[in-house]
Amino acid sequence: MDFDRLRGQVLEPVRSGDIARYQSYDWEKGRPGPWVSLDGVKVVIVEGLGLFQDGLSEAFDLRVWIDVDLESATQMGMWRDEHVFDNPQVELWEQVWMPNDADFLAKHRPDLAADVLYSPAPLPLPE
């Protein structure tokens, strides 16, 4: 995630009342893709684990953390990738994303940086 692009192309323009324009990401080519205009957008909801970090967290007017234990969140993400996107990516989950997520959670404590902390009941994985 290019957090500088997120801040400069979306968050700052929307906050100042300007038209936000950002480059979508072309996953097949592995680089930024076409420009997208957010003309008229006044509220932006951004989702992602890595958002609550120094230098970016303060760019949000409201920070909501959905507090799901890492094991359950990982299982749900792996299920989604396999069953919804037909792209299991098990090796990436086990060797990259799970360790990175655990390190991020320990270092940045997003649960403590949130304005709103939501702790849902455990959700079973779909069949």
Q: In tens digits, what is the pLDDT along the chain, a chain of 127 residues?
A: 789 999 999 999 999 999 999 999 898 899 999 999 999 998 999 998 889 988 898 899 999 999 999 998 999 999 999 999 999 999 999 999 999 999 999 999 999 999 999 999 887 877 7
Look at residues 119, 111, 110 and name the one whose alpha carbon lies nearest to residue 56.
Answer: 110
Can you tell me the distance from the alpha carbon of 31 to that of 20, in angstroms, rounded to the nearest whole number?
Answer: 20
Write out the E strands in the chain.
21-26, 31-37, 64-66, 116-118
pLDDT, residue 67, reads 93
pLDDT, residue 122, reads 81
Can you tell me the distance from the alpha carbon of 31 to that of 108, in angstroms, rounded to the nearest whole number?
Answer: 28
Look at residues 12, 124, 105 and name the one whose alpha carbon lies nearest to residue 66.
Answer: 105
pTM of the predicted model as reported, rounded to 2 decimal places: 0.80
pLDDT, residue 103, reads 95
Q: Are 110 and 52 in contact (CB under 8 A)?
A: yes
pLDDT, residue 60, reads 93
pLDDT, residue 46, reads 94
pLDDT, residue 126, reads 72
pLDDT, residue 51, reads 92
Can you tell me the distance from the alpha carbon of 98 to that of 27, in angstroms, rounded to the nearest whole number?
Answer: 21
